[in-house]
Structure 1
């Protein structure tokens, strides 16, 4: 490997490690704070927080790694331009292609890693997260419920209890709120015993209380006083979006559902987009001498925002059948490729004028 390529790679690789490490720390801290709050409110089990944060970081790597490379290339090359080192390299007869070659040597392996994470790590991590949430929210795990707090799951079911005894699976002075499309059920009970804690058929036995059925149209409200009432609760259902994210790549490739196709295209395009983003940063990091190595960060930040939201918008449009499957999410990659070619051609044109 030539000295110039190795020099640029070393500068960029060091920054990638620092920036990605910092981003992982920030993201993990934010996720931990969020899920610790859910655990304190009884939404998920406290023991599941560490595992969920790990899986969330694994999922986020498909975005954090390309962002780290994108920013590192911009800063490293910006510094070299600011110190006139790039000018000296070009003065020796080197072309801009050597800059892109140096970045590609780093970007291609990283893009391959991002592809593997997106195709296989992403669905596995999502499946583990949904399994942990289901175990915490639909199995009526008395161990993670909190007394004198509103314990809510993703179905909207709320349990409030004055006293909770994990040893006997009993709740005292409890209130159960279960909403549905047509009516809302409210159960006021002196004592509640968990009978079945399975995810598919959660059920409890209510001892001495009152049940209210509230019709949303306001015409058929009912009240029932009971001594012993077996209540079968609604199991936690996985949303369509959750099913697509946790489905394996092989399952998505066989599906004709637009949401599954959008998810598959999203996974397939992550690695290629990471390489294209690095090439865009290479071309857009050009600065004038003494302009400052951070002079291009604002336009690069704007460009990243456009790419990020453009990809999300295209994924939503494909999932809604508003945007055709072809080009689908690949529209963003296509536009990025055209931008890279235009910028490279512009750099060669500038070089010819400079050394004519």
Structure 2
């Protein structure tokens, strides 16, 4: 690595670390606020919030790291163009290749890291999040239930109580709503004791109350008055999208579902997309002298929007079977590579000098 390459790498790395750190901080604050709200509403146990936020940040790194390098390269090179340093570098006999080599020193290791995070870290983190939410929302841990509030989980189960005693697992003047098998059930009880709080077999004992079962088709409604009733509640049913995100690459490969193949292609393409984004930032960073180091942000932003939404649209179309698996989600990296070759050809053209 020569002096010019070290100079470019140093400037881009410093800016990238600052940007990624700031983005992680903002994303962490957003996740913490979101899951603390769920904990306050009784849909998530407070003691798992920190773990869920950590896994969410780990998942987000596959996007935050490429974005940080992409913007850092564009802004750093934009500053060199603005200060006419690129002109001086060109006058010293350097070719455009030195810029691409400098960016490659950063982009290749980062793209490998992003690929590993996407293929292995992302499904592992989603599996951990699902396990925590499954345990928190399925088990009847009254410590995260709020009195005089509708405590709802993702399975549609709702519990409300006038008073809650977390020491004895006892609820007073309580209401439970469940829905399964085409029927909705409402249980109103003077008091409720938690018999089994486990996620797999949550069970409660209801004392002195009334139950109502309402058929969704309106053909089998009934009312029951009881003194003592033991109720087995349904465990949380995992959503199909969370289940897919938590699948390993091997499971996705063996699946015949187009949505699973779209998820697999999305994970596998993250590394090469991160590399191509960093390289695309080189020609997009070109500005006129004294135009301002942030003049490159508009083309950089437009390109990122096209890449981000293009990838999501392709993944959705592949999952729906609207476009074939080949090229599938790889359509976006192929278009990025074609655009990079065209822009790089302009840099290396005999008619286009290193700066203008």
Q: Give the TM-score taking structure 1 as reference length.
A: 0.96
| SS of residue matched to 1:189 | strand
Whether the aligned pair in 1 keeps the contact of 2:347 and 2:354 (CA below 8 Å) is no
| SS of residue matched to 1:294 | helix
Moved more, 11-20 or 297-306: 297-306
Alignment of 1:48-127 (within 5 A): 48-127=48-127
1:210-262 residue CA offsets vs partner (Å, 9 max, x unmatched): 11122334454322111111212121011111111111222222222222211
Which sections of structure 1, spanning at least 5 residues, go unmatched? Answer: none
Aligned-residue CA RMSD in angstroms? 1.7
Say if 2:192 is the partner of 1:192. yes
1:56-110 residue CA offsets vs partner (Å, 9 max, x unmatched): 0000000000000011011100000000001111222322121111101100001
Alignment of 1:266-277 (within 5 A): 266-277=266-277
Whether the aligned pair in 2 keeps the contact of 1:151 and 1:158 (CA below 8 Å) is yes
The residue number in structure 1 matching 2:280 is 280
Say if 2:221 is the partner of 1:224. no
Q: 1:249 and 1:219 mapped to 2: Cα distance?
A: 46
1:94-133 residue CA offsets vs partner (Å, 9 max, x unmatched): 2212111110110000111111111111111111111110
Distance 1:348 1:168, change over 3 A: same
| SS of residue matched to 2:178 | strand
| SS of residue matched to 2:328 | coil
Moved more, 23-32 or 200-209: 200-209
| SS of residue matched to 1:322 | coil
1:271-308 residue CA offsets vs partner (Å, 9 max, x unmatched): 11001000111110000111111112112111111111
Whether the aligned pair in 2 keeps the contact of 1:192 and 1:204 (CA below 8 Å) is yes
Distance 1:136 1:353, change over 3 A: closer
Q: 2:171 and 2:252 mapped to 1: Cα distance?
A: 43
Q: 1:52 and 1:19 mapped to 2: Cα distance?
A: 23
1:170-208 residue CA offsets vs partner (Å, 9 max, x unmatched): 211111111346332111111112222222222211111
Moved more, 244-253 or 33-42: 244-253
Q: 2:352 and 2:233 mapped to 1: Cα distance?
A: 74
Q: 2:263 and 2:156 mapped to 1: Cα distance?
A: 27
Q: 2:181 and 2:282 mapped to 1: Cα distance?
A: 53
Which sections of structure 2, spanning at least 5 residues, go unmatched? Answer: none
The residue number in structure 1 matching 2:338 is 338
The residue number in structure 1 matching 2:42 is 42
The residue number in structure 2 matching 1:31 is 31
Q: 1:317 and 1:198 mapped to 2: Cα distance?
A: 40
Whether the aligned pair in 1 keeps the contact of 2:87 and 2:354 (CA below 8 Å) is no
How far apart are 1:168 and its partner, in Å? 1.9
Q: 1:306 and 1:236 mapped to 2: Cα distance?
A: 37
Alignment of 1:152-163 (within 5 A): 152-163=152-163
The residue number in structure 2 matching 1:204 is 204
Q: 2:59 and 2:192 mapped to 1: Cα distance?
A: 39
The residue number in structure 1 matching 2:302 is 302
How far apart are 1:353 and its partner, in Å? 6.0
How far apart are 1:49 and its partner, in Å? 0.5
Whether the aligned pair in 1 keeps the contact of 2:16 and 2:68 (CA below 8 Å) is yes
Q: 1:258 and 1:246 mapped to 2: Cα distance?
A: 16
| Count of matched residue positions in the alignment of Structure 1 and Structure 2 | 356
Q: 2:189 and 2:289 mapped to 1: Cα distance?
A: 76
Q: 2:227 and 2:322 mapped to 1: Cα distance?
A: 54
Q: 2:86 and 2:236 mapped to 1: Cα distance?
A: 58
1:5-52 residue CA offsets vs partner (Å, 9 max, x unmatched): 000000000001000000000000000000000000000000001110
